[in-house]
Structure 1
Amino acid sequence: MIFLEEIFNMTEALLGEGLNHFFLIELIFFSLDRSLLYFLVWLVFRWSYLKIRKNRWPVKNKRREWILNSFVFYILLLIHLTVFRGGTSLSSIELHIQPLSVINWVPLVETIKLTNGISMFSYYYNLYGNILWFVPMGFGSAYLLKEKHSFLRTLSIGFLVSLSIEVLQYLLDTGIPDIDDLIFNTLGTILGIWCFHFIHWIRAKRNKKQDKLVSKKE
């Protein structure tokens, strides 16, 4: 690790032996550390692009720029959490020829099996984690598409990203491709789209109320 090694070592000393699912915390630390590195590279390229392009600097729409950068960091983190796990990185990619039988094709079977485990943590993480991790996908895609946004177009982005993750897990042997992940990720994208429309509705309603107050004063 480059940025978070000391914090991770402290966390491992406190929780490493007493927490059954500490490997998830380790995965999160590793993924955050790698994502921060690539995000800094992105910021350099983004800043250079804005400086070179005329009328792009200083940034006029700061909210959109903030959401764009947050979305890029989210994508980087998502890729490292799901594909480049453990010691896997861009420099150590190897394709693995696997039989198609390793893929879980039947919906909900593997998820239901998790309810028979020692604890329900794996079940909750697989179900709700896969949904919640893709809520930013729906919200961020809808916001950044602006007038090009439509429910189906934004939903297709979340679906294709999830499908790409499953395909990469299969090709790189860094995870078990599961149709449940695709289903739950798509549900998370839908929730994100709904959140975007709900916030947009709240803002439109507030602006309309303010316009009425202004017109009354005039």
Structure 2
Amino acid sequence: SGYIDPYYFDSGEFTTASDVFSFGVVLLELLTGLQAFDSSQRALDRKLFKRARRTVVPVDPRAGFDEARETLLRDLAMECTAEDIEERPGLEDCIARLLGEVREAEPDVVPPPAPAPAPAQRVRECVVCMDAPPRTRFSPCMHSACCEGCAGELMRRASSPRCPICRERIRSFEVGDFIDTSGTPMERGGGGGDGGGGEGVRSPDERYVDQLASRH
């Protein structure tokens, strides 16, 4: 009774066909909503198999199976619980038939490709104070490297303001959001217009920019 294979119960010989029988009982439970064995109602399992043998399986409407799935599960359950163990399918066949039903039920939809991760964006800071975004752009060199406060102070206090990036003389600056044009500060080499040796001689304006940075 219940999940026990009658062949095993009668002969004492356990085979994989006995597992197939138990699997078929589980399928019948899914279809009918009935229990294979209930100690309070021992005739339940006998009634279940009696109906299965007549191919009239009382399908539980709560299961929500459509007609095609009901037919598949009912036929497979009946084959698995066949009295003759030679008529029972193998476990591999049971799985293949169920998986085939799942594949047919699911639409063959190709998921959209995952969006490419956004490139890491470097946080831009004023090259003088290192405390505010560089929302100015110098003219004529077009470098965006200083915040509005540092750019304004540079223009007011330096007699000949120069860009802290390229050292070109600054005529004016504009305020706004600009692309990163700062690059890396250029080092002055020897033999330039200021004369001097290997490190070069820094102009008063260049020293003033350094003083601004040191104050912050």
TM-score tier after normalising by the smaller chain length = under 0.3
Structure showing greater Rg? 2
In the superposition, the TM-score normalised over structure 2's length comes to 0.20
